Amino acid sequence: MVKKQIDIRALDAEELQQKLLEMGEKKFRANQVYDWLWKKHISSFDEMLNVPKSLRERLSEAFSLSKVQIEDVQVSNDGTRKYAFKLAGGQQVEGVLIPTPSRVTACISSQAGCSLDCTFCATGLLDLKHNLYAYEIYDQVAILRAEAEKHYELPLSNIVYMGMGEPLLNYRNVMRSVEMVTSPEGLGMSPKRITVSTSGVAKMIRRLADDGARFEFALSLHAANDETRSRIMPINDSNNLETLKEALRYFYEKTNTRVTLEYCIFKDVNDSLQAAKELADFSRTIPTKVNIIEYNPFPESGFVNTTRKRMDAFIEYLEKEKVIVNVRRSRGRDIDGGCGQLALRHTK
């Protein structure tokens, strides 16, 4: 049987150094190897030119070295590009590039599949297959950054952890990937250009606060009464609105950062003026802004977009209540742009 090797990039700088010391090597070698992996982005051990051949061979026996690969690309008529990425373990995840005239946002995945079963989400219909390693998350950013420059001639301006999976249930790898994207040795991006979105794992929101998160943080609320929210997001049974409010207060106390509430608006589910009132009340828990998201429907979901008229009335109510509201029109509809939709189609 072939022994399953770990990928050398699954080790952080300290672990790599430890491993090389165990192999009888000196500290400077560990630094050289680290630079090849993280600054020069090589894809095979043979490319480590200043590392002796014998060590390159021993490394390739001890570790694998893989990169996330682009498997498929679809281009929407609104310019959105959707990527199917293949991981070394064979799993598929999705990433999206969303251009506007002045900026490009990359949407990336943190898990292959998701364990949380939100009823309106295509990823929720897939089982959780794999928690992405930090380097697999980082690779998506590095690939999409190069693609943004190639296709739009714009630098990548923002990153949102809003692809497949629940970032806070793959906490360590997500935090490490943010570190790599923001560190000067990595891509040197500002944490303020990164948004991590959660369906509401209260315990991990507190952990984020304790760890002094400096990136933007979004909570997928979608309903501000427990009955409706539990119906569409089963996680609400164990993390209800009161628990989330407490976690948000804790988060704000520690970070002093405004939180974004995401609210995807579904016809006859959460689009009434009563629902708008509940949302306005919830939004006053701490300083927040609300993103109203247009639903990206898919046949298996059973949910549909609300009407323009009801959406306008909903937004007007929030504005009257002095809630800060942005509207996010859905992009890439013609290419299954919504999270998990492409993978769902491939699975079927």
How far apart (Å, rounded) are the C-alpha atoms in residues 193 and 157?
7
> Looking at 94, 136, 262, 278, which residue is catalytic?
94
* Residue 36 tokens, joined: 């090849």
Give catalytic status of residue 118 as yes or no: no
Cα 232 to Cα 76, 121, 222, 265, 270: the distances in Å are: 28, 9, 9, 12, 10
Would you call 201 exposed, middle or buried from its count of C-beta atoms within 10 A (0-12, 13-18, 19+)? buried
Least distance CB 234 / ligand SAH (angstroms) = 12
| Residue keyed to tokens 């800060």 | 324
Give catalytic status of residue 94 as yes or no: yes
Q: Does 288 bind ligand SAH (CB under 6 A)?
A: no
293 contact, one of ligand SAH, ligand SF4, none, CB 5-8 Å limit per kind? ligand SAH
| Segment contacting ligand SF4 by CB under 6 A, of 33-41, 56-64, 118-126, 239-247 | 118-126
- Taking CB under 6 A as the criterion, the residue among 123, 170, 182, 285 binding ligand SF4 is 123
Least distance CB 262 / ligand SAH (angstroms) = 4
**Residue 265 one-letter amino acid:** I
185: left (phi over 0), alpha (psi -120 to 50) or beta: alpha
- Taking CB under 6 A as the criterion, the residue among 32, 80, 170, 199 binding ligand SF4 is 199
262 contact, one of ligand SAH, ligand SF4, none, CB 5-8 Å limit per kind? ligand SAH
Among positions 201-220, residues that touch ligand SAH (CB under 6 A) are: 220
- Note the helical H segments in the chain: 13-22, 27-38, 53-62, 134-152, 171-182, 202-210, 226-232, 241-255, 273-283, 308-320, 341-347
Q: Does 165 bind ligand SF4 (CB under 6 A)?
A: yes
How far apart (Å, rounded) are the C-alpha atoms in residues 21 and 18?
5
Nearer Cβ to ligand SF4 (181/339): 339
The catalytic residue positions are 94, 339
Binding site for ligand SF4 (CB under 6 A): 114, 116-118, 121, 123-124, 165-166, 199, 220, 339
Interacting residues with ligand SAH (CB under 6 A): 120-121, 162, 166, 197-199, 220, 262, 264, 293, 295-296, 338-339
